[in-house]
Amino acid sequence: MRRAVAWLSLLVGAFLGSAQASAQDAGADATRRAQVLVRVGASSFSVGEVEDRIAAMPGFQRATFGATPSAIVRKFVADIIVPEALLELRAAATGVAGRPPAAYAIERARSTATVRAIRTRVGEASAISADAVSAYYEQNRERFSTPVRYQIWWILCKTREEAQTVLDACKEKPTPATFSALARDHSLDKGTFLRGGNLGFVAEDGSTAEPGQRAGLGVVQAVGKVRDGDLVAEPVAEGDYFAVVWRRGTRPSFTRSVSEASAQIRDTIRKLRIKDETDKLVARLRSQRLRSLDEAPLETADIDAGH
């Protein structure tokens, strides 16, 4: 370590002197940047490498290394460059990099750095052009339009006669408490009978926000003919059953303009570009590096993955 720092003390002075002199041309600057600033074992670090690493730091972080360029360079090399190199030498000598946890961490770091480089190359979402935003909006208009939705409560009965009896009881005392009690006692829809028959907001095609839950078009059409707060006057056929239906509310249709959706669109386009670049890179690496792949042993292997 002392020998490395001794090298450092001699070379930093030369580096600072050359950095203060203006280069006569690009060739001279390239020569300056290629000069070795410090050696630690078999590792060496050029003027350019140290310059680039210092320049990449935000100003507030750079200031923590010193108040002058000379102090910053000295402390950065002594506190960062040299210890890193020494640790790498020790790791190489002990074979740490080949051990599974370290090897996995190294591969993960390389993978993360590769994805970060792709994101940098793609650029920020704010740099995506208005033309690209407009084109995406035109190709995906349905994503920015929300159709009218009805909030529907229902009680699904086996027969029309049972549904009519339930409907008459609802009409007699049309309150949420009455409807909930009747849903609990009569509804065959086990997805909603314990929550008062509440289907949630249903689109005109019968879809709901609940996965696997939907209403028939007959129910939606019947609800569309009454006002918010009204019961549908007759039981509505729903497949092999009959439904007592209550329209509880409405969310009108809504369409966002391209300007209103522009921030979301830019973010989506950026993510799609990053995914496309990543997928292309993975495909190219698979074609270049993957020689054979047999996943059959994974189906029969008895491996304790731990908990």
* CATH architecture of the domain covering 148-252: Roll (3.10)
The answer to whether 4 and 38 have CB atoms below 8 angstroms apart is: yes
> Given 3-state DSSP classes, what are the helix, strand and coil percentages for the chain, each rounded to the nearest 5?
60, 15, 25
Domains in the chain: boundaries = 2-96, 148-252
Q: What is the pLDDT along the chain (307 residues), one digit of tens a residue?
A: 444 444 444 445 544 455 454 545 677 888 888 898 888 888 889 988 998 999 998 989 989 999 998 899 899 999 999 998 898 888 888 888 778 888 888 888 989 999 999 999 999 999 999 999 999 999 999 899 988 999 999 999 999 999 999 999 999 999 999 999 999 999 999 989 999 999 999 998 888 888 778 899 999 999 999 999 999 999 999 999 999 999 999 999 999 999 999 999 999 999 999 999 999 999 999 899 888 888 787 777 776 666 5
DSSP character string of 39-74: EETTEEEEHHHHHHHHHHS-HHHHHTT-SSHHHHHH
pLDDT for 32 equals: 87
